[in-house]
């Protein structure tokens, strides 16, 4: 075993961080070895037979002032999406209860906002979070940028986690979005962590970024003050009318490599196999679980794009002997 492997084995007991070169070395390992190493790390920190099922709902759709080149909801793109106002409390609560009945333990809500504003809509979202928590579900929201004060209000409402993706490495970020900066994103993540809310921060694969950009993303999130509790790995879903509509389909091997590297460098985080999953077979997804993914989004729709029929996912989990009760950490 070389020094770097010994160091990654000790990762969770030490305060040591990894530099770019170290992450690059592991990231570029032969895939078969990378999966094996990640699977070992996974088993040291989680029960590999358990994953978390989450449910996702767009509570305010479209018309977003940001120009994220992948997103169906940006007002800068001409997509077929019809913008919608904030959903009602009843509609959201019904969806949450339904998600729980179908096995989800976490309910995530996305709003197509650049930033949270201190208005009635924010008050309604706070109330939604309170009600979802009363259903004994974890609650995660993705509402764009937030100030320290707004983060504290979310914490008071009982929010479990805030989703705010860095999506890629800092050098590639302005190829993807120009209406905000990487620093803006990091600033919101800081506000969330200061308020004591867990962070969900993930990436998209397949936007034209290089392996170096992916390594840089891993480097950035593994060096945050606290590691994100949750890391969604999204494979780009190319959407007609967006800047990335003609991207090549994402290869499963790239998804697996990313998941495995994240598992090794962030051993206690939940890694969520997220957008783009509908394009992958059960066998391909099984490799993702082997490499350390331990969560999926359940339900036939993500925010605006199709996902997988629930019965199909339950069939897959049954075949693989994986329970959807929870991603069980062995360290708690
Ligand atoms: N306004 C929130 C924000 O800024 O974070 C919005 C939630 S956004 C829709 C959540 C994440 O979904 C994005 O950061 C991106 O990683 C992912 N996503 C959005 N569109 C996608 C697409 N077409 N393919 C893959 N992932 C996508
Ligand atoms: C994340 O990183 N992926 C999920 C969740 N966080 C909010 C969202 C995926 C959205 C995929 C595109 C869509 O459905 O519009
Ligand atoms: Fe708006 Fe979020 Fe879509 Fe960007 S990803 S356009 S911020 S909804």
pLDDT of residue 330: 67
- How far does residue 99's CA lie from ligand 3's centre (Å)? 24
Is residue 68 part of the annotated active site? The answer reads: yes
Q: Tell me if 292 sits within 8 A of 263, measured CB to CB.
A: yes
pLDDT value for 225: 87
- Helix 31-45 to helix 282-290 angle (10° resolution) is 60
Tokens linked to 68: 């994220």
Give the pair of three-digit tokens for residue 188: 């919101």
Which residue's alpha carbon is nearest to atom 3 within ligand 1? Answer: 144
- Identify the pLDDT of residue 14: 47
What architecture is the 17-320 domain classified under in CATH?
Answer: Alpha-Beta Barrel (3.20)
Q: Can you tell me whether residue 263 is helix, strand or coil?
A: helix
Q: Is 108 a known active-site residue? A: yes
Closest by CA position to 56, among listed 310, 311, 323: 310
Handedness of CA 65, 276, 200, 304 (dihedral sign): positive
Q: Is residue 71 among the annotated active site residues?
A: yes
Specify the pLDDT at position 255: 98
Give the containing element (helix H, strand E) for 321: none
Q: Report the atom number in ligand 3 closest to the C-alpha of 165.
A: 5
Identify the active-site residue in 140, 214, 257, 277. 140
Question: Where in the chain are the domains?
Answer: 17-320
172-175 LR contacts (CB < 8 Å, sep 24+): 172/207, 172/209, 172/210, 172/213, 172/216, 175/69, 175/207, 175/208, 175/209
Residue keyed to tokens 């992450």: 23
Active-site residue identified among 54, 106, 108, 263: 108
140 is catalytic: yes
Phi, psi of 29 (to 5 degrees): -55, 155
Ligand approaching nearest to the C-alpha of 77:
3
* Cβ of residue 110 lying under 6 Å from some atom of ligand 1: yes
Q: Catalytic residue at 200?
A: yes
Enter the tokens of residue 70: 């992948």
Strand partners, 64: 74
Residue 272 sits at the vertex; the CA angle it makes with 87 and 240, to the nearest 5 degrees, is 60
Helices vs strands, H then E, count in the chain: 12, 9
Structure tokens given for 319:
């075949």
pLDDT tens track, the chain, 332 positions: 556 655 665 554 445 578 999 999 999 999 999 999 999 999 999 999 999 999 999 999 999 999 999 999 999 998 889 999 999 999 999 999 999 999 999 999 999 999 999 999 999 999 999 999 999 999 999 999 999 999 999 999 999 999 999 999 999 999 999 999 999 999 999 999 999 999 999 999 999 999 999 999 999 999 998 999 999 999 999 999 999 999 999 999 999 999 999 999 999 999 999 999 999 999 999 999 999 999 999 999 999 999 999 999 999 999 999 999 776 666 65
Residue 68 burial (C-beta neighbours within 10 Å; 0-12, 13-18, 19+): buried
Question: Is the shortest distance between the CB of 204 and ligand 1 below 6 Å?
Answer: yes
DSSP state of 97: H
* In contact, 70 and 105? CB cutoff 8 Å: no
CA 86 – CA 89 distance, rounded (Å): 9
């Amino acid at each position: 075993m070389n020094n770097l492997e010994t160091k990654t084995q000790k990762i969770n007991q030490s305060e040591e961080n990894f530099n770019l070169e170290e992450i690059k070395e592991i990231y570029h390992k032969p895939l078969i070895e990378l999966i094996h190493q990640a699977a070992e790390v996974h088993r040291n920190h989680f029960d590999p037979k358990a994953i978390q099922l989450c449910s996702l709902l767009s509570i305010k759709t479209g018309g977003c002032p940001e120009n994220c080149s992948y997103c169906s909801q940006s007002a800068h793109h001409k997509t077929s999406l019809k913008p919608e106002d904030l959903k009602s409390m009843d509609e959201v609560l019904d969806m949450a209860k339904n998600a729980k009945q179908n096995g989800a333990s976490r309910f995530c809500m996305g709003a197509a906002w650049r930033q949270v504003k201190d208005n009635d809509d924010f008050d309604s979202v706070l109330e939604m979070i309170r009600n979802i928590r009363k259903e004994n579900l974890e609650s995660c929201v993705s509402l764009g940028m937030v100030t320290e004060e707004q983060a504290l209000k979310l914490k008071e409402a009982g929010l479990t986690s805030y989703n705010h993706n860095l999506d890629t490495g800092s050098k590639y970020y302005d190829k993807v979005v120009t209406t905000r900066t990487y620093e803006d994103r990091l600033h919101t993540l800081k506000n969330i962590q200061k308020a004591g809310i867990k962070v969900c921060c993930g990436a998209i694969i397949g936007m034209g970024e290089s392996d170096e950009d992916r390594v840089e993303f891993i480097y950035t999130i593994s060096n945050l003050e606290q590691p994100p509790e949750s890391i969604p790995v999204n494979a780009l879903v190319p959407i007609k009318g967006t800047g990335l509509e003609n991207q090549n389909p994402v290869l499963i091997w790239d998804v697996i490599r990313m998941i495995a590297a994240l598992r090794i460098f962030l051993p206690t985080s939940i890694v969520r196999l997220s957008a783009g999953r509908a394009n992958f077979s059960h066998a391909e997804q099984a490799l993702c679980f082997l490499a350390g993914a331990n969560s999926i989004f359940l339900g036939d729709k993500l925010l605006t794009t199709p996902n997988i029929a629930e019965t199909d996912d339950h069939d897959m989990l049954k075949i693989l002997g994986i329970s959807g009760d929870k991603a069980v950490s062995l360290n708690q």
